[in-house]
């Protein structure tokens, strides 16, 4: 029996997206709104950093695996030309989202973003959490648009 690595990579990619974007959805729609309601700003920041730190590890692993599986599929299909076709706009968006999250999780957050947010939250907790919540809303909206486009587009639906 010939094992189909392409099908396995697609399944890994989809599970990765579910864990990654599902986690972003949880942080955006449940965690941040709940944390913003905590009145003790020291406890608010401590709880956020504790929970976000645990999720960041998961997000790094899943984002990396999802990206590797996606690039493997593009390579096996020799589908790089799809980046030149507007009908595959969702592929462009999906890749853009992946690049943003990868840069944030692997470069910006460890180098300075974590420290910067901590300092901002100590200065003005309300403003810092409002800013991070706004950024999560934008990234979640773009991510869900990419997921919708990929689900529809990979099954033939074209908007253009």
Looking at the domain assignment, is residue 109 inside a domain?
Answer: yes
With a cut of 80, say whether residue 24 has pLDDT above it: yes
Cα 69 from Cα 13, distance rounded (Å): 5
Q: How confident is the model at residue 2 (pLDDT cuts 50, 70, 90)?
A: low
User: What is the structure's pLDDT at 42?
Assistant: 86
User: What is the structure's pLDDT at 155?
Assistant: 83
Looking at the domain assignment, is residue 107 inside a domain?
Answer: yes
| DSSP assignment of 18-36 | HHHHHHHHHIIIIIHHHHH
Looking at the domain assignment, is residue 158 inside a domain?
Answer: no
User: What is the structure's pLDDT at 61?
Assistant: 97
User: What is the structure's pLDDT at 1?
Assistant: 42
Around 119, how many Cα atoms within 13 Å sit in the side-chain half-sphere?
5
Number of domains observed in the structure of the chain: 1
Cα 35 from Cα 6, distance rounded (Å): 41
Helical spans, DSSP H, in 30-124: 32-36, 41-77, 89-103, 114-123
Q: How confident is the model at residue 119 (pLDDT cuts 50, 70, 90)?
A: very high
Cα 9 from Cα 64, distance rounded (Å): 13
Q: What is the pLDDT of residues 26-61, one digit of tens each?
A: 999 999 999 999 999 889 999 999 998 889 999 999
**Structural domain boundaries, residue 16:** 5-153
The answer to whether 73 and 10 have CB atoms below 8 angstroms apart is: yes
Give the distance, in angstroms, between the CA of residue 37 and the centroid of all CA atoms in the same chain: 24
User: What is the structure's pLDDT at 72?
Assistant: 96
């Amino acid at each position: 029996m010939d094992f189909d690595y392409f099908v396995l990579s697609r399944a890994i990619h989809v599970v990765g997206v579910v864990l990654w974007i599902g986690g972003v959805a949880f942080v955006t729609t449940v965690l941040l709104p709940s944390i913003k309601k905590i009145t003790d700003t020291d406890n608010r920041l401590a709880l956020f950093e504790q929970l976000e730190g645990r999720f960041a590890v998961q997000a790094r692993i899943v984002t990396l695996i999802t990206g590797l599986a996606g690039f493997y599929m593009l390579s096996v299909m020799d589908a790089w030309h799809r980046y030149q076709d507007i009908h595959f706009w969702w592929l462009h968006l999906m890749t853009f989202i992946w690049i943003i999250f990868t840069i944030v999780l692997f470069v910006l957050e460890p180098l300075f973003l974590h420290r910067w947010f901590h300092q901002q939250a100590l200065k003005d907790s309300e403003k810092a959490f409002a800013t991070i919540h706004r950024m999560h809303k934008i990234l979640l909206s773009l991510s869900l648009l990419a997921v919708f486009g990929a689900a529809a587009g990979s099954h033939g639906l074209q908007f253009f």
